[in-house]
Amino acid sequence: MSVYLTKELCKFFLTGNCHRGDSCNYSHQTKEYPCKYLHGTGVCEKAHGCIFKHSLLNEQEIQKFMSENEDFLKKVLKETGTTNLSDYFLNYLKTKDQRERQEAVPKDVMIPPNLLKLEEEKQAGQTGTAGTSTPSG
């Protein structure tokens, strides 16, 4: 039914500078990508002339949209106090914040000196001459 998007949208196509056309490695199908203005702020100035998707997003699309437009949505939230995704985005920020706190490594953890020494030895070995074995006999 719905096509799962693996390709990234072509940044050059958006600015009219992509000359690759159909052979481009990136997607030119802007209609498959959510409009960040409509879905982020609730208002898109371009309305029907917009090249991005204005129809409702499903859960999966919303998650993808939020991770790709996080900075934009944060800005919207800061400026207007809300986003068009309201709870979705607030929950997204909350879970992200929690996850980052769990993953944070304490700064006082140091690498043991013997491990550092091993790293040095490994690097020195790599720059050495490739083993040319002289035949014996």
Please give the distance of CA 21 from its chain centroid, rounded to a whole number: 24
User: Which stretch in 39-47, 61-69, 70-78, 115-123 sits in contact with Zn ion by CB under 5 A?
Assistant: 39-47
Task: Say how far apart CA 87 and CA 71 lie, in whole Å.
Answer: 17
User: Which stretch in 37-45, 83-91, 103-111, 120-128 sits in contact with Zn ion by CB under 5 A?
Assistant: 37-45
Can you give the length of the chain in residues?
A: 137
Task: Say how far apart CA 49 and CA 79 lie, in whole Å.
Answer: 26
Q: CA separation (Å) from 70 to 65, 88, 93, 103? A: 8, 12, 9, 19
Closer Cβ to Zn ion, 58 or 102, answer by number: 58
Q: 18, 57, 62, 77: which one contacts Zn ion (CB under 5 A)? A: 18
- The number of beta carbons lying within 10 Å of the beta carbon of residue 69 is 19
Closer Cβ to Zn ion, 26 or 72, answer by number: 26
CB of 77 to Zn ion, least distance (A): 19
Size of interface with Zn ion, in residues (CB under 5 A): 11
**Sites of contact with Zn ion (CB under 5 A):** 10, 13, 18, 20, 24, 26, 35, 38, 44, 50, 52
